Amino acid sequence: MVVQTPPPRTRFAALHGLAMADDRLARCATWLGLPSRRGKRDSGPTLALLDGPQGATEAAAWLPPITAWIEPTAGDDAQPSLTLLTTRAGSVDLYINVTTQTANNLHLAERILNALAARHPLPQDRREDLELALHEAISNALVHGNLEVAGMKELSAAELERFSRDLVQQMANPILSQRRLEVAVTLEATAMAVEVADEGNGFQPTPMDCHGASGRGLNLIATVADSIELQDGGRRIRMRFAL
Partner 1 sequence: MDYGIEQRDQEAAVRLRGRLTFNDHAKLRALIGEMKQNKAKRQVLDLSSLEFVDSAGIGMLLIAREEMVAATKELVLRGAVGQVKRVLTVAQIGKIVTIED
Binding residues (CB under 8 A) for partner 1: these are 104, 107, 124-125, 128-129, 131-132, 135-136, 139, 143, 151-152, 155-157, 159-161, 163-164, 167, 212-217, 219-220, 223
Q: Which is nearer to partner 1, 157 or 175 (CB)?
A: 157
CB of 159 to partner 1, least distance (A): 7
Q: Which is nearer to partner 1, 27 or 153 (CB)?
A: 153
Q: In whole angstroms, how close is the CB of 169 to partner 1 at the nearest point?
A: 12
Collapsed DSSP state (helix, strand, coil) of residue 147: coil
Min separation Cβ 207 and partner 1, Å: 15
- By residue count, the chain amounts to 243
Shorter beta-carbon distance to partner 1: residue 97 or 214: 214
Q: What is the DSSP string of 13-75?
A: -EEEEES--HHHHHHHHHHHT--B-TT--SSSSEEEEESSSTTSSSGGGGSTTEEEEE---SS
Nearer to partner 1 among residue 3 and residue 213 (C-beta): 213
Rounded-to-10 torsion of CA 186, 243, 218, 179: 30
- Residue 117 vs 132, nearer CB to partner 1: 132
Give least dist CB 3 to partner 1, A: 27
Please list, in sequence order, all residues whose beta carbon lies within 8 angstroms of the beta carbon of residue 154, skipping any fewer than 6 positions away: 212, 213
Smallest distance from partner 1 to CB 155, Å: 4
Rounded CA gap, 206 and 58, in Å? 39
